[in-house]
Structure 1
Amino acid sequence: MLDDIASVTTDLHAAGTDARRLMHAALTGPVRGRVALVSSFGAESALLLAMAAEVDPAVPVLFLETGQHFPETLVYRDDLASWLGLRDVRTIAPAPAAVAARDPEGQLWAFDADACCTLRKVEPLDDAIIPFDAWITGRKRGQALTRQALPTVETTSDGRLKINPLAAWSPKEIDAEMTRLGVPRHPLSARGYPSIGCAPCTRPVRDGEDARAGRWAHLTHQKLECGIHRTPTSG
């Protein structure tokens, strides 16, 4: 397995910032079948999913079903997966017993957003990612201060590869490519939601605000990440 990781890492670095070459290297290389794509099926998710479907529509796609999503997101997930021909979209949910014990009223987000994200996103993904040697994300450098130095390829502390094919893409480039491909848009995108998370923690963005200003806007302190990308990494 270590030889496979080393080989695909070489191929990924050779691809540079070319998103389609990165996707092809990840999904057809020596770790093929052991790579998952993690998607929120949010405002810009269709582009990454379309690129993956072009290479391998059977790639496992992990969707974190927090139980707090906008209804539009769940409909969009199913419609987009069908439109792209994705054959292995897996809905990953927190353990019912854990939710019953730690958030029985579904209000944890209101007084401890970090704990809510840990329960509903971090812990379920930690379990779901165990069978995989690598995973693909849709993160971009321009999304938040925490992502400005984001590389296209990372090695996590547990030895997995994390691949960010769209790291260098700007919102304008993503929008143009989505338009060119004709992929369906998330219905909330046209209603002022450039970044879409759980319904209780996401509001529309006002003119002049950062694209992620509507995320966790109810908090008195700044929160930029849900925590699933917390693991220390190296390029």
Structure 2
Amino acid sequence: MSLAYDAARSDTLAARLDAELRRAHPRTVIEAALETFGDKLALVSSFGAESAVLLHIASRVDPAIPVLFLDTGMLFGQTLDYRKQLAARLGLTDVRDLRPAYQDLATTDPQNKLWRTDTDACCHIRKVLPLDRALEGFEAWVTGRKRFHGGDRLNLPVVEPSDGKVKFNPLANWTREDLEAYAAENDLPAHPLVAQGFASIGCWPCTQPVEEGEDVRAGRWKGLDKTECGIHLVRAPGAANNVGGDI
């Protein structure tokens, strides 16, 4: 099957599913995704500030859904602890830790200082490439992105095509208040850094607390003309996998 055919098929399927699910509850979206793709569906999570809600909903649909976690080697220790504790509490049985390839680090970032000079390249080898490799065995994936995060996410669809695959954004329609209400109702533990002012949490060198009144993602790559790590950027059809969020 050609790449062009795959892309056309995913575009058509994504458009149909988005029309059916654009106002659906997040649980309904995940149920439809599993019904459509079965074991060819994965969920990508950063185990960040807002991740518990989507992970909880998914665990109630199927705790065995593969959860892909990008362990970049530069995450806060609190995030690594939270990933273990939250996965155990929710009963998630298939959480896969994705790490950058040794060869990529050895050739491109041997001293772990690339973030100081080229954040895009750093995100590329630590996030984009590992996720590309992990997604090769899947036809669709689920993200935790929401429209209220602003920027490129303002017009986020619930279902969209993505490089020959279908991407589901079950929380696209939810507001911050919706997330907080759901977390409170289900007694979900917050990421420990939230109490210190971190509203969106990525790698420690490029994440800061946000100030009062700032955008949720204002602490990510602060001072740079950058709002996404690269895994959600649209690529040209047929682009190689090595061409490149709070997820």
What does residue 209 of structure 2 align with?
A: 204
Give the AA of the match of 2:49: A
Relative to structure 1, is the Cα distance of residues 180 and 109 closer, same or farther in structure 2, using a 3 angstrom cutoff?
same
Per-residue CA distance 1:177-211 (angstroms, 9 max, x = gap) = 11111111100011100100001100111111111
Q: Which moved more, 1:207-216 or 1:57-66?
A: 207-216
Matched, 1:222 2:225: yes
Distance across 2 between alignment mates of 1:13 and 1:124: 31
Aligned to 1:126: 132
Distance 1:123 1:106 in 2: 16
CA distance in 2, matches of 1:211, 1:7: 32
1:30 aligns with 2:36: yes
Question: 1:71-90 to 2 correspondence within 5 Å?
Answer: 71-90=77-96
CA distance, structure 1, for counterparts of residue 139 and residue 15 of structure 2: 12
Aligned to 2:105: 99
Contact 2:18/2:157, CA 8 A, preserved across alignment: no
Report the more deviating stretch, 11-20 or 50-59: 11-20
1:110 and 2:116 matched? yes
CA offsets per residue over residues 79-123 of structure 1, 9 Å max, x none? 000000000000001101111111111111111000000010001
1:164 and 1:76 mapped to 2: Cα distance? Answer: 22
Q: Percent identity?
A: 49
2:153 is equivalent to residue 147 of structure 1: yes
C-alpha deviation, 1:144, in angstroms: 2.8
Alpha carbons 2:140, 2:167 under 8 Å: kept = yes
- Is 1:213 the counterpart of 2:222? The answer is no
Distance 2:71 2:119 in 1: 16
Aligned to 2:243: none
2:26 to 19, 30, 37: 19
Question: 4+ runs of 1 displaced by more than 6 Å?
Answer: 4-9
- Structure 2: any 5+ residue segments left out of the alignment? 237-247
Deviation readout 1:36-76 (Å, 9 max, x if unpaired): 00000000000000010001000000000100000000000
Letter in 2 for 1:19: P
Q: CA deviation at 1:148?
A: 0.5
State whether structure 2 residue 169 is matched by structure 1 residue 161: no
Instruction: Compute the displacement of 1:157 (Å).
Output: 3.4
User: Distance between the aligned counterparts of 1:39 and 1:55, measured in 2?
Assistant: 16
SS state at 1:33 partner: helix
Higher relative contact order (CA 8 A, sep 6+): 2
Contact 2:149–2:216 (8 Å) recurs in 1 = yes
**Residues in 2 aligned to 1:8 and 1:114: alpha-carbon distance in whole angstroms:** 28
- Gaps of at least 5 residues in structure 1 are none
Q: Secondary structure at the match of 2:133?
A: helix
Tell me how far apart the structure 1 counterparts of residues 38 and 15 of structure 2 sit (CA, whole Å). Answer: 13
CA positional deviation for 1:232: 4.7
**Quick check: 1:68 aligned with 2:82?**
no
Aligned residues: 228
What is the CA-CA distance between 1:135 and the residue it aligns to?
0.1
2:185 — aligned with what? 180
Letter aligned with residue 205 of structure 2: P
Q: Secondary structure at the match of 1:162?
A: strand
Contact (CA 8 Å) 1:139, 1:167: kept in 2 or not? Answer: yes
2:146, 2:156 within 8 Å by CA — same for their partners in 1?
yes
Distance 1:8 1:107, change over 3 A: closer
Give, in whole Å, the separation in 2 of the partners of 1:11 and 1:161: 10
SS at 2:39 equivalent:
coil
Give SS of 1:32's match: helix
> What do the CA deviations read for 1:121-150 (whole angstroms, capped 9, x no partner)?
001111110100100000011113111110
Trace 1:37-76 onto structure 2 (pairs within 5 A): 37-76=43-82
